Chains A and B, each alone.
Chain A
């Protein structure tokens, strides 16, 4: 052991000194053993959610956006709130897999697969909302620069168009990143498959991977490059999402703090969602040896940091509203905290700023029930953050005669609930059929994987 290792006394990232084979067995177990009953129940519930979502979308396509709660000053409601909420959740995966990879944070290996999957499913849910809010579905292709018989092209100076590019690029790159990471593990599943069909299906997607070092060489380079590409991408996506608001002239939206504030909020909500799901999965699928309490504690520290950043942004917005001496800006913020939507504002502050403060204490950071509850609070709070930003800025605009109060209709609520059905269906299928831990990557951080392991313990 080197002096550095002795001094630092690193926490072991995999419990019980598992060897390579035991680790493979552990990760492969959920897909090879009998499916537990709770999985089928959860899948049935999630599928009902999808059915609800589909029905609501069908109703929407038939009737038009009039069935939503939008009114005259509030032209943006649940659709954008849900979109930003889901995209935000989708930031944790790439942050864990790309940024923590570049920073050589070895603890990411236990949870990155899981978080990346969550990212992809969250972005799928997010993409539904801008896709359906346009009212005339048959013209959705106008969003893309496709040559058409009208010789018409999109307006490249619009932040809404930037958003189309940002989110679809993010989805594509996250999917590629996830798939590249999966290839060696799919090959593991292929080689362990008991039935010909399983071996064939995993085999097709494993692309004939055989663990050759001449392959690993390019593979590792590709992984590093993808991480390096995904890092600025993940920061750019939520920045561009925030441009949807910040580039407008509306008090409450027109602020330069939005891009970093949105990115911090996205990481905050994404990590909270990962903690929520991980607490359940490690329990239900017996992954405690790989997804350790140490992992959760690291996650909670990041939740605390990003929660503080978000809290700072809330405060700074008020400071700027006062410091700008711009009466409309001041009004927008005073109205936000004390107006008709004060209830939403204070839910947001309590959930996002106050509840994570518990994580200052190691007892709370390492307590499963507390972190589970806090992570749920953060999810709720971050949904309300987007609601507050969108609705409170719109509902009282420059002309008091047009002021109004926005409330969602049952269709709005049911569509949102249905999107959780889609998310959890995809997630449950992932848990059952794919390696939920990056097997090859976790093996790399085992002490036995070091080529000098067992050589000489004295140097």
Chain B
């Protein structure tokens, strides 16, 4: 709790959102990420035009929770699909089709399957948006001019100011020693 309060404090005192450093290549970025992780900064991220193999380990990220969300979505779709068909066919609208029993569960399989896939897919996409806090059309990084090449050929690392032991000049010195060639301070304009 105290950490949170302290972080708020830091945010209020200065508008510095973080320190952004640009690196030459994916391999330079991954090495820098390992060092930043070992330094113990909790709030940092790397930015690249494509996902870099091995970066999750280099940053020390825990595995994504997304599969659990998808599992719940799929389980809901499956039971909803089967339940709807059962209720409609046996209770709400009893139709006898070629003398078959009202509860012909074999015939319910295709729709059950489709709805399971449909709800899993919704859970996947919207779960991913939720975990990533997207859409997020404003972010302090978008105010940095050089950052626009991140979606083409730029490789960046940012340490956010609310990390423990964040000391702006110290962080800049460290990043430089990891091989960053362009270091900028990111300000939050909001």
Question: Chain A residues in contact with chain B, CB under 8 A?
Answer: 19-21, 24, 145, 151-159, 161-162, 165-166, 169, 172-173, 176-177, 179-180, 184, 187-188, 190-192, 203-204, 207-222, 225-226, 229-230, 232-233, 236, 240, 243, 439-441, 443-444, 448-455
Report whether B111 and A165 are in contact in the complex, using a CB–CB cutoff of 8 Å: yes
Query: In the assembled complex, which residues on chain B have CB atoms less than 8 Å from the CB atom of A450?
Result: 26, 53
Q: How far is the CB of A217 from chain B (nearest CB, A)?
A: 5
Among listed B5-13, B41-49, B171-179, interface-contacting one: B41-49
Q: Which of B18-53 contact A (CB under 8 A)?
A: 25-27, 30, 33, 45-53
Question: Chain B residues in contact with chain A, CB under 8 A?
Answer: 25-27, 30, 33, 45-56, 59, 61, 64, 66-67, 70, 84-85, 88-89, 92-93, 95, 97, 100, 104, 107-108, 110-111, 113-115, 117-118, 120-122, 124-125, 127-129, 131-132, 134-139, 141-142, 147-153
Docked CA distance A126–B45 (Å): 44
Closest to A152 in B: B93
Report whether A188 and B121 are in contact in the complex, using a CB–CB cutoff of 8 Å: no
Query: In the assembled complex, which residues on chain B have CB atoms less than 8 Å from the CB atom of A443?
Result: 49-50
| Contact residues of A: prevailing secondary structure | helix
One of B66, B110, B120, B151 near A229 (C-beta < 8 A): B120
Closest to B132 in A: A215
| Contact residues of B: prevailing secondary structure | helix
Can you list 21 contacts pairing A with B, beta carbon distance less than 8 Å? Answer: A21-B149, A21-B153, A145-B84, A145-B88, A157-B100, A165-B111, A169-B118, A172-B121, A173-B117, A187-B151, A207-B137, A208-B137, A210-B142, A213-B33, A218-B64, A218-B66, A221-B128, A222-B66, A222-B125, A225-B120, A444-B51
Query: In the assembled complex, which residues on chain B have CB atoms less than 8 Å from the CB atom of A220?
Result: 51
One of B30, B84, B89, B118 near A157 (C-beta < 8 A): B89
Query: In the assembled complex, which residues on chain A have CB atoms less than 8 Å from the CB atom of B135?
Result: 207-208
**New A-B contacts (16) at CB < 8 Å, excluding given A154-B88, A208-B137, A236-B114:** A20-B153, A145-B84, A153-B93, A155-B95, A156-B85, A158-B97, A173-B117, A176-B125, A214-B59, A218-B128, A219-B51, A236-B110, A443-B49, A444-B53, A449-B52, A453-B25
Report whether A24 and B139 are in contact in the complex, using a CB–CB cutoff of 8 Å: no
Report whether A208 and B134 are in contact in the complex, using a CB–CB cutoff of 8 Å: yes
Using A172-B118, A214-B132 as known contacts, say yes or no to A225 and B100 having CB atoms under 8 A apart: no
Indicate the member of B51, B100, B122 with the most A CB atoms within 10 Å.
Answer: B51
Query: In the assembled complex, which residues on chain B have CB atoms less than 8 Å from the CB atom of A448?
Result: 25-26
Report whether A222 and B113 are in contact in the complex, using a CB–CB cutoff of 8 Å: no
Report whether A216 and B137 are in contact in the complex, using a CB–CB cutoff of 8 Å: no
Q: How far is the CB of A255 from chain B (nearest CB, A)?
A: 18
Using A165-B115, A204-B137, A219-B132 as known contacts, say yes or no to A19 and B110 having CB atoms under 8 A apart: no
Query: In the assembled complex, which residues on chain B have CB atoms less than 8 Å from the CB atom of A240?
Result: 110, 114
What 8 A-B pairs have minimum CB-CB distances, sorted nearest first? Answer: A20-B153, A207-B135, A222-B128, A216-B51, A153-B93, A208-B136, A162-B110, A188-B151
Query: In the assembled complex, which residues on chain A have CB atoms less than 8 Å from the CB atom of B132?
Result: 214-215, 218-219
One of A155, A158, A229 near B124 (C-beta < 8 A): A229
Report whether B88 and A153 are in contact in the complex, using a CB–CB cutoff of 8 Å: yes
Report whether A213 and B46 are in contact in the complex, using a CB–CB cutoff of 8 Å: yes
Closest to B74 in A: A229
Q: How far is the CB of B78 from chain A (nearest CB, A)?
A: 13
Report whether A222 and B152 are in contact in the complex, using a CB–CB cutoff of 8 Å: no
Query: In the assembled complex, which residues on chain B have CB atoms less than 8 Å from the CB atom of A203?
Result: 137
Report whether A166 and B110 are in contact in the complex, using a CB–CB cutoff of 8 Å: yes
Q: How far is the CB of B71 from chain A (nearest CB, A)?
A: 10
Docked CA distance A439–B148 (Å): 16
